[in-house]
Amino acid sequence: MIEARRLHILRAVADHRTVTAAAAALYLTPSAVSQQLAALEQETGHRLVERGAKGVRLTPAGEILLGHTNAVLAQLERAEAELAAYGSGEAGTVTVAAFATGIAEVVAPAVARLAGSAPGIRIRVQDAEGDASLLMVLDRQVDVAVAVEYRGAPPADDPRLAHVPLYAEPFDAVVPVTHRLADTAEVPLAELAKDPWIGPYPGNPCHDVVVLACESAGFQPRLEHSSDDFRAVVALASADVGVALVPRSALRGMDLTGVVVRPVDGVAPTRRVFAAVRRGAEEHPLIRPVLDALRAAAGEA
């Protein structure tokens, strides 16, 4: 008989690519993870993982089992949801991980909404970028992630996660007031090809949006300054060290002294924000009201 907890460990290893990283995410020791993988291999009668210089990868047998693992774990989430519904599930804690602007745009308003509509649900919020928050959901560190679509992100039909679209917003061009395009109504991205750029670090979903937008305009941005904090990005632009693309909501309430904010000419780069939970958990009586509140807050954003 295959133990479900060992399937969870197998998926964590597949997601994190190393035993050490999977162990850290699951709050286990690497030796404990290795022991559980060995036990799972004994249970199945197949070698499931191969270790190499760059980490761990699944064998063909491991890939087969991983496909069933996603279905089994989703069904267990559904079972927990139904049992919680049977026991009323009107009170409890839901942990939400979201990036900073997402917290301001939808998470905080959703928390306020739930205080009136579902006072028994306590929300705990953690600041995390979208690429990190999705793994936190899969590793059961949090219940809900508010994340941004990015290159390499799990697709909407991923068997491990259920997606709930929330909102989409454009990026605006931020240039110093002394910039040659400061007086234009809209900024053509191609005209910024030779400028130094300021932007998020690789791995941040917004980094992908910026790079893809520039690639579509025919160039690779020369990123000379990096920060995941858009206040820092704008401050650097005001110091006349480069140009940037910043999500429109991140600019609200920000000190824009020294910069000019303009729409992008043509099709604006856009970040699409969604909520994600472990597949099967979307109908849990504690999680469903949270998703509904996030959706309602996104509609008012």
Cα-atom radius of gyration of the chain, to the nearest Å?
Answer: 22
Measure the CA–CA gap between 21 and 29, rounded to whole angstroms.
10
User: SS3 of 265, please?
Assistant: coil
Give the closest residue to 171 by CA, choosing from 99, 101, 273, 268. Answer: 268
pLDDT for 87: 67
The predicted-structure confidence for 59-85, as pLDDT tens digits, reads as follows 998 899 888 888 888 888 888 877 776
* Backbone dihedral angles phi then psi of residue 67, each to the nearest 5 degrees: -60, -45
CA atoms within 13 A on the CB side of 268: 18
- Phi first, then psi, for residue 110 (nearest 5°) are -65, -40
pLDDT tens for residues 143-199?
A: 999 998 877 778 888 899 999 999 999 999 999 999 999 999 999 999 999 999 999
Alpha carbon separation from 83 to 42, 70, 130, 159, 278 (Å, rounded): 32, 20, 30, 22, 16
Residue 88 has pLDDT above 70, yes or no: no
Residues 6+ apart with CB under 8 A from 98: 106, 107, 125, 126, 127, 128, 133, 145, 146, 147
How far, in Å, CA of 169 to CA of 3, rounded?
Answer: 43
Q: pTM value?
A: 0.70
Q: Is the model's pLDDT at 91 over the cut of 80? A: no
Beta bridge partners of 55: 52
Judge whether residue 86 has pLDDT over 70.
no
pLDDT of 225 higher than 90: yes
Tell me if 230 sits within 8 A of 282, measured CB to CB.
Answer: no
* 5-64 tens-digit pLDDT: 888 888 988 889 888 898 898 889 988 988 888 888 888 888 888 887 778 889 998 899
Q: What is the mean pLDDT of the chain?
A: 90
Tell me, what amino acid is at 116?
Answer: G
Q: Give me the helix-helix angle, 108-117 and 287-300, nearest 10°.
A: 120
Residue type, 53: A
Q: What one-character DSSP code corresponds to residue 191?
A: G
Q: Which amino acid is at 132?
A: A
Contacts of 235 (CB under 8 A, 6+ apart): 255
Residue 191, token pair as written in the block: 């005209």
Give DSSP secondary structure letters for 36-58.
HHHHHHHHHTS--EEEETTEEEE
Amino acid 301: pLDDT: 60
User: Alpha helices of the chain — where are they, by DSSP H?
Assistant: 4-16, 19-26, 30-44, 60-86, 100-102, 108-117, 130-138, 205-216, 230-238, 287-300
Tens of pLDDT along 196-218? Answer: 999 999 888 889 899 999 999 99
CA quadruple 212, 214, 218, 224: dihedral, nearest 10: -120
